[in-house]
Structure 1
Amino acid sequence: MRGVQVKVPKEINRVVIIDDGFVEGLLYRFGKQDLVVGVGGDSVKKVFEYNFTTRDGEFYEYTNGMNTVRYLFPEADDLPLVTDGKTGINYELLASLEPDLVIVRAGAYAFRAGSEEALDKALGTISSLGIPVFVLYGPTYQDNASVDRIADEIKLIGEIFDEQASANELADYLDGIITDIKTRTAGVPDAEKPRVMEFGLSSTARGEGGAGMAWGLDTIETHFIEDIANAKSPFTGTGAFVVISAEQMLALDPDVIILSTAQGYHPAKEIYTAPYYQNLQELTAVKNKQVFPLPWTPYNWAKRLEYPIEAMIIAKAAYPDKFTDIRVADWVLNFYKKVYKVDDKTAKELRSVQWLDWVEEENF
């Protein structure tokens, strides 16, 4: 996909993956996760927690949050980390692992959008070590950020590991969910579209005098809102992680707020009850209890296999009347079963580690 022909070994017994869980998740589905001998993203190793205290002094704690790959493949915690994404690749360690292939996903945390020069340098260095390196380009590394080519990425990995049938089945399933959402929400006149905004609750933003973070019309976040769910984003600026004030947020006044997991996980209860969000209580979405958190997806820079869950939550939040037949609490269990080929018990545990138990508690 980078215009360079790569000779992929016919037999792959050792692979290093520089990604945040997308490729690792595919290998789990294929039953080939044991081929992974090194990783390049520490979100597949971490276990997260979060807590906050309400205005009334109630303490809420969220524990055992994980990347789905961390739960499904706990052995990843013991794998060598060739880069944590904050520093460069440890090439000495990478070479010592003697991989048959290195797979890099551009757009993941280690090589986020805008790091083209660093990516090119890294690919050249890996190749100079005599190690074949294959590159996938995630949504944020494309001219127009969208999920339209994720199916192509899945199929490429399927070809590399001789799992074409499984890869094609998965790609069709994920594409089918997005198509269904678009079909359900099609044809709504602009004047009748709900105003839906992805909002990042963030201590960093508060430290800079803001209320939170917004994402512009040129981002993957707004692609989910406008192109998939067919809603309307009230924030019409550009760029990602844009710090906005409480006054700006009150002026935008969305009908529905989607809480992203950028800058950490934040539940709806936090914006309703935390003392530092007292100045947002007059928002229409807050007063009407129309705030919905996305699943916990740490380091979700390039979107992973769970991206249809995000799309479904956004679409149902925007148009509940068009999704009355879908109870996300049940739907998401079926999703995990189909994607990862797990049983009901494991599916429920995946729902919990993505901090999605609220969909069951609120009958969403």
Structure 2
Amino acid sequence: MFKLNTPCLLFKLYVVVVMIFGFSEKVLCLEKDFTKIKDSRGIIVKVPKKINRVVTISDGMVEQVMTRLGVAEKIVGAGSECIPKKQWNSTYPALGKKKYTYKGGMHTATYLNPWFIDIPLITRYGAGINYEMLTALEPDIVIIRAGSCSFSGSKHVMEKSISLIESLGFPVVVLHGPDTYDDPDILTIFQEIKILGKVFDKIKTADNLINFLKKTLEFIKIRTKNIQESEKQKILLLGLSQTARSDGGAGHVKGADTIESYFMNKFVHAENVCKQKGAWNILNTEQILALDPDVIILITAWGYHPPQELYDAPYYQSLKYLRAVTNHNVASLPFSPCNCEKRLEFPIDVMIMAKTAYPLLFKDIDLASWLLNFYKNLYGIDSATAKGLRSCQWMDWTLDQEK
């Protein structure tokens, strides 16, 4: 007859119970170490509460927001060649034998975090991700901003890259830049900031940042709200790039479905003279002459381009009879390297468009001083650092303008 060994059975049962409760307690402890974040894809991502090592694939927006949140020192790897670069120089010819050179251009995120210059680069525009380097960096989280140059024009490549990174065991939070949507909207930028605030447990700081950006935009919108339809200035967003000229065009032009066009309509109350869709349309001389805008705003396009290049460069003399050129109604936006998606300083673009289009409405705004106050409030920095940002974005032309 089978005899039950009660003491032995009870001991085994005790061991099993301890193992079950011990495992459950461990699982609970692990769960407490993570936060669930819904990213721009609508996907819930479990991210560690203690984040010490971050790899970003972004042209600057993520790095800029992290700087404002006070967590930029956690970045151990970048995915844009414009982040770990010391400075840029830009040269263009004038009529005769003259040449003009701009020196010391720098990404604002790198200016504020000089150690970014030595940061490892895991990918860049036109190249795949170095997964071996990524693994060696041992990030607690990888943050990717869709729309950045490293993934521009290839949603499939980005999705495949995300899957591969996740398969390595690294949580991936994805942000969607405004131009990745069919109808770009400022609310998506605010949502990106909110997500980063949650990731780094800096929700209040993120909300304060959003409120400051909203207040700045509202100030501009109130100034221009009474502009009548017949009074709206027609603006051309033009990039004077060598790339466009090499392809037979005169420049790159921002189309009607871009975030810049949204800013123009929503806050500046002006009209984008280009009705084509697309962010980097190549237009030839005849097409630009036919548009004949009231205002030309020069964007970063494969380099910085000041109004003087449009006025004086020999290869743009065919555009000298445009109304905006003859009236010297041309202004440059801040230097923004790797300019594939809009970044944190975007209200500067809106102010420059508005002040150039409607100078009388903004005649009391000293743009040079306004910029310093904007930088100081945006990043929580002192006046000396703000002046450095104005210089590295090649915005010191505002000093001459206000004399």
More off after superposition, 348-357 vs 41-50: 41-50
Aligned 8 A contact 1:151 1:175 in 2: no
Deviations 1:175-214 (A, max 9, x none): 1111222222113222111111111112222223322122
Give me the whole-angstrom Cα distance separating, in 2, the residues matched to 1:198 and 1:143: 19
Question: Which stretch shows the higher mean deviation, 269-278 or 180-189?
Answer: 180-189
- Say if 2:250 and 2:284, in contact at 8 Å, map to a contact too: yes
> Unpaired runs of 5+ in structure 2?
1-39
Runs of 4+ in 1 over 3 A off after TM superposition: none
Helix, strand or coil for the counterpart of 2:100? strand
Q: Which residue matches 2:378? A: 339
The 5-angstrom pairing of residues 70-81 of structure 1 reads 70-81=110-121
Letter in 2 for 1:97: L
Which residue of 2 is the match for residue 251 of structure 1? 290
Where does residue 108 of structure 1 map in the other structure? 148
After TM superposition, give the deviation of residue 260 of structure 1 in Å: 0.7
Q: Which amino acid aligns with 2:120?
A: P
Question: Is the Cα contact below 8 Å between 1:151 and 1:172 reproduced in 2?
Answer: no
Aligned partners of 2:55, 2:232: CA distance in 1, in Å?
A: 45
Amino acid of the structure 2 residue aligned with 1:318: A
Q: Which amino acid aligns with 1:161?
A: F
* Runs of 5+ consecutive residues of structure 1 not aligned to the other structure: none
The residue identity in structure 2 corresponding to 1:98 is E
SS in 1 for 2:364: coil
After TM superposition, give the deviation of residue 217 of structure 1 in Å. 1.1
Give the equivalent residue in structure 1 for 2:23.
Answer: none
Residue equivalent to 1:61: 101
User: Deviations 1:137-168 (Å, cap 9, x if unpaired)?
Assistant: 11111231232221121121111112112111
How many residues align? The count is: 363
**What's 1:87 paired with?**
127
Look up the match of 1:175: 214
After the TM superposition, which of the residue ranges 210-219 and 285-294 deviates more from structure 2?
A: 210-219
Q: Which of the pair has more CA radius of gyration?
A: 2
User: What SS class does the counterpart of residue 303 from structure 2 fall into?
Assistant: coil
1:42 counterpart residue number: 81
Q: Contact between 1:333 and 1:347, CA under 8 Å: does it hold in 2?
A: yes
* SS, match of residue 173 in structure 2: strand
- Whichever residue aligns with residue 227 of structure 2, its letter is V
Question: Which region of structure 1 is more displaced relative to structure 2, 334-343 or 22-31?
Answer: 22-31
- Work out which of the residue numbers 205, 225, 229 in structure 2 matches 1:166: 205
Deviations, residues 245-281 of structure 1 (Å, cap 9, x unaligned): 2222112111110001022111001111111111111
State the distance in 1 between where 2:195 and 2:81 align.
24
Corresponding letter in the other structure for 2:173:
F
| 2:340 aligned residue | 301
State the match for 2:28 in structure 1.
none
1:30 partnered with 2:30: no
Moved more, 157-166 or 10-19: 157-166
Is the Cα–Cα contact under 8 Å of residues 83 and 117 in structure 2 kept in the other structure? yes
Which moved further from structure 2: 227-236 or 128-137?
227-236
TM-score with structure 1 length normalisation?
0.96
Identify which of 360, 371, 391 aligns with 1:321: 360
Percentage of identical aligned residues = 47
Shifted more, 189-198 versus 142-151: the winner is 142-151
Task: Give the counterpart letter for 1:109 in structure 2.
Answer: C
Distance in 1, matches of 2:88 and 2:186, equals 27
AA aligned to 1:88 is: G
Equivalent of 1:203 in 242, 255, 263:
242
In 1, the alpha carbon distance for the partners of 2:43 and 2:111 equals 35
Structure 2 CA distance for aligned equivalents of residues 60 and 169 of structure 1:
41
The alpha-carbon deviation at position 228 of structure 1 amounts to: 2.5
Contact 1:267 1:293 in 2 (8 A): yes
- C-alpha deviations, 1:119-148, integer Å up to 9, x for none? 111111111111111111111112312322
